[in-house]
Amino acid sequence: MQAARDGGSFRDPAGHVYEVGDRIYRSVHARAVDDYTFLRDSGFLARAIEQGWIVGSRETRDGPADANGALVLEHERIPFVSYPYEWSFPTLKAAALFHLDLQLAALDAGVALSDASAYNVQFVGVRPKFIDVLSLRRYRDGEFWLGHRQFCEQFLNPLLLRSELGIPFNPWYRGSLEGIPTADVARLLPKRKLLSWNILSHVFLQAKMQREAHGGARTERAQGAMARRLPLAGLRGMLGQLRRWIARLAPADTGPTVWGSYADANTYAGEEATAKRDFVAAFAREVKPRLLWDLGCNTGAYSAAALGAGAQYVVGFDFDHGALERAYARAEAEKLDFLPLFLDAANPSPFQGWRGLERKSLQARASADAIVALAFEHHLAIGRNVPLPQVVSWLCELAPRGVIEFVRKEDPTIQQMLALREDIFPDYTQEAFEQLLRTNARIVRSQQVSSAGRTLYWYDRS
């Protein structure tokens, strides 16, 4: 089978990642062998893999022929690769704390991290896992934390954008793949934040040093900052202090969101919600999808139902930050194999980065075995003016089978959506939806689940 080199691994001079079918390989180039050997022989790698901190790795001789590495590793496969600009606030916060914890634990074994890329953290459910083994190398006595700037731009600054200013970081982060520049955050924060030592040291002073370093002539202070040495105790103290600060961060905009309370205050009576859960559970029980996408997952109630009935892994998508934060809390508390992510379905994550290949589009990263799209289609068809035929065909393209809920125009939710706009949707009818679904797939089963006429459709196009 043909080996495909991952488009996001081109920057690393230590090695590259390859995909061969369902298997993941990493080449270790000659320049990185000594550091990798030290990491392996230190015992830290084996312990971290056993604890679930680092992706499973083993040396192999049957890797792809074009890997061109002095060594080749095979890694366990992550169920779904996500990007920081798709994470909710608690997900990014968990990744930041995990990155710092990993560094502190590595230092105990004489190991350090050469960078601080948020893309090196992935999630299995909401459990973070480090995937770039070659970023771990021998600690060099007195070295300063070279990844500090990258950590701030890819972890800290997005968190501060939300915690200090109440601004979601996702659109900005997606448009600036290397993270949110410290200079921009410094301009946005009010000057009274200078009274905070953490913000002063990690934002304002860092932005000032960056300006000096990029000026026409570097100042002595900027040159000294690049050459300074940091005792190991000082590095530990810096990492620990930063960890304690980030652990206290919380979103500033904690008021109610449009759909954050939907699970508790929706248009369903109790028995109707039960019927909806039972339909989803029956679908998951029969199909047993390895990877299920829950579009419009809200707080994850139906993702949990699917997992309990036989789905192996669920990736949920929603655009409401309050709902995503509650979904994260559910996944964490119930230890679910469920990863809730931010998604604007009318503008999903595209191919982007270098040559348009560095970060993959949503659909290019994995093929879902099934989807659940509950109370979802009308947000595209009515809320975003996407023609109903395109909505139905797109949903059916995502997976060979799934459950789609149709919401009639008479439903209170749609009536609320239309209250302040003209109804320009004469073709939005249940009959048209059913015909479109039959054009794209076979309707296995349908069931009305609300007094307002909401209906679930189980489709299959396999």
| Those residues with Cβ within 8 angstroms of residue 372's Cβ, 6 or more apart along the chain or in another chain | 280, 283, 292, 293, 294, 295, 302, 303, 306, 402, 403
Q: Cα(446)–Cα(449) distance, rounded to whole angstroms?
A: 10
Give the model's pLDDT for residue 223.
55
Give burial (CB, 10 Å; 0-12/13-18/19+) of 432: middle
Cβ atoms of residues 242 and 232 within 8 Å = no
Alpha-carbon dihedral sign for residues 209, 215, 218, 223: positive
Give the model's pLDDT for residue 254.
64
Structure tokens given for 37: 């050997």
Q: Cα(86)–Cα(343) distance, rounded to whole angstroms?
A: 7
Closest by Cα among 183, 134, 140 to 35: 134
End-to-end CA distance of the chain: 25
Closest by Cα among 155, 159, 221, 148 to 189: 159
Other beta carbons within 10 Å of 86: 22
CA distances (Å), origin 394, targets 235, 335, 368: 50, 31, 13
Give the model's pLDDT for residue 259.
46
Give burial (CB, 10 Å; 0-12/13-18/19+) of 51: exposed
Other beta carbons within 10 Å of 144: 15
Closest by Cα among 5, 119, 26, 124 to 75: 26
- pLDDT tens digits in sequence order for the chain, 462 residues long: 567 888 888 888 899 999 998 999 999 999 999 999 999 999 999 999 999 999 999 999 888 877 777 899 999 999 999 999 999 999 999 999 999 999 999 999 999 999 999 999 999 999 999 999 999 999 999 998 989 999 999 999 999 999 999 999 999 999 999 999 999 999 999 989 888 899 999 998 888 888 877 765 455 554 555 566 899 999 999 999 999 999 999 999 766 555 455 555 444 558 889 999 999 999 999 999 999 999 999 999 999 999 999 999 999 999 999 999 999 999 999 999 999 999 999 999 999 999 999 999 999 999 999 999 999 999 999 999 999 999 999 999 999 999 999 999 999 999 999 999 999 999 999 999 999 999 999 999 999 999 999 999 999 998
Structure tokens given for 101: 């914890």
CA distances (Å), origin 11, targets 67, 74, 135: 15, 20, 12
Q: Cα(60)–Cα(28) distance, rounded to whole angstroms?
A: 11
Q: Cα(65)–Cα(68) distance, rounded to whole angstroms?
A: 7
The three-state DSSP-derived secondary structure of the chain is: CCCEECCCCCCCCCCCEEEECCEEEEEECHHHHHHHHHHHHHCHHHHHHHCCCECCEEECCCCCHHHCCCEEEEECCCCCCCCHHHCCHHHHHHHHHHHHHHHHHHHHCCEEECCCCHHHEEEECCEEEECCHHHEEECCCCCCCCCHHHHHHHHHHHHHHHHHHCCCCHHHHHHCCCCCCHHHHHHHCCHHHHHCHHHHHHHHHHHHHHHHHCCCCCCHHHHHHHHCCCCHHHHHHHHHHHHHHHHHCCCCCCCCCCCCCCCCCCCCCHHHHHHHHHHHHHHHHHHCCCEEEEECCCCCHHHHHHHHHCCCEEEEEECCHHHHHHHHHHHHHHCCCEEEEECCCCCCCCCECHHHCCECCHHHHCCCCEEEECCCHHHHHCCCCCCHHHHHHHHHHHCCEEEEEECCCCCHHHHHHCCCCCCCCCCCCHHHHHHHHHHHCEEEEEEECCCCCCEEEEEECC
Question: Tokens 């930063």 map to which residue?
Answer: 242
pTM: 0.93
Cβ atoms of residues 173 and 160 within 8 Å = no
What does DSSP say about strands 136-138 and 291-295: parallel, antiparallel, or unpaired?
A: unpaired
Closest by Cα among 165, 361, 130 to 252: 165
Closest by Cα among 69, 65, 79 to 3: 65
Burial code (b: 16+ CB inside 10 Å, e: under 16) for 114-143 equals bebbbbbbbbbbbbbbbbbbbbbbebeeee
